[in-house]
Copies of this chain bind each other. A is one copy, B any other.
Amino acid sequence: MKAWIITIGNEILIGRIVNTNSAWLAKKLTTMGIEVRKMITIPDEEDDIIQAFREAIRHADLVISTGGLGPTFDDKTSEALAKALNRRWVINPKAYKEVKRKFEAANMELTEARLKMAKMPEGSIPLSNSAGTAPGILIEINGKLIVALPGVPREMKAIFEENLEKILAKKAPHKYYAEKSIGVVGIPESAFAPYIDKVMKKYPKIYIKSHPRGHETKGPVLEIHITTYAETEDEARKLVEDAAKELMEKVNELGGGITHQ
């Protein structure tokens, strides 16, 4: 199951905000056995949003967007998604009930701008937002899932954990993910690279990546990150531990040190 994450918002593109939403979602999906293949960040422009959704739907089984669901003029995700799918953009009765209830409870009028938060592509399932006002949007088309979540991290996380996660878990490939990180000192990345290559060839399900934390030629520090998916939790764990053991033996042979594992 392949996923694309779309981030909608000028504030990311001007570097005002670091995109923590994507990282949070990617971590969640990865541990569920869903592979995130691409992340895109685009401005609050209808054409960009339509294009991004269409491209993502062509390539991915799951598309999750964040941002652009609020009441302001530049919240364009819902309407653009309707256009991307060639669906009508209509008031969703369930979303309307939720939005209306929230504004009534706050003794606030349901203006045109606020009503927008209840409008969704026809056939959407609203995902209740316990941490804010705008519900998320879920659409299933030919077995593919398209999800639009708010950009406010607290609301995005609440909707994901309370409403979306259980739906995705049913669709996810039920693969188990395991990871392990080893800290290595005294061996430059370029000297260790061939051994990583060898271990990856021996264990085809294992993915190993080295991250240089020090300086390649002056005091090298490496973080070796080992990841895998497997059919059972035990198998995933064992694969990672076996690969880690071989790498650590090689570190010893080369005269390096292990700082953590």
Check if A24 is an interface residue, CB within 8 A of chain B. Answer: yes
Check if A142 is an interface residue, CB within 8 A of chain B. Answer: no
One digit per residue, 1 when the CB lies within 8 angstroms of any chain B CB and 0 when it does not, for chain A 1-16 equals 0000001001111111
Report which residue of A13, A108, A131, A152 has the largest number of chain B beta carbons within 10 angstroms of its beta carbon. Answer: A13
Looking across the interface, which residue of chain B has its beta carbon closest to that of A220?
B106
Could you say which of A40-48, A236-244, A250-258 contacts chain B?
A40-48
Contact A15 B30 (CB under 8 A): yes
Contact A215 B19 (CB under 8 A): no
Check if A121 is an interface residue, CB within 8 A of chain B. Answer: no
Check if A183 is an interface residue, CB within 8 A of chain B. Answer: no
Check if A135 is an interface residue, CB within 8 A of chain B. Answer: no
Check if A141 is an interface residue, CB within 8 A of chain B. Answer: no
Report which residue of A117, A190, A225 has the largest number of chain B beta carbons within 10 angstroms of its beta carbon. Answer: A190
Whether A209 touches B39, Cβ cut-off 8 Å, given contacts A114-B190, A196-B73, is no
What B residues does A27 contact at CB under 8 A?
14-16
What B residues does A114 contact at CB under 8 A?
190
* 15 contacting pairs across A/B (C-beta < 8 A): A13-B26, A13-B38, A18-B19, A19-B22, A19-B23, A38-B41, A40-B41, A71-B193, A72-B190, A72-B193, A106-B188, A108-B191, A108-B217, A133-B190, A133-B217
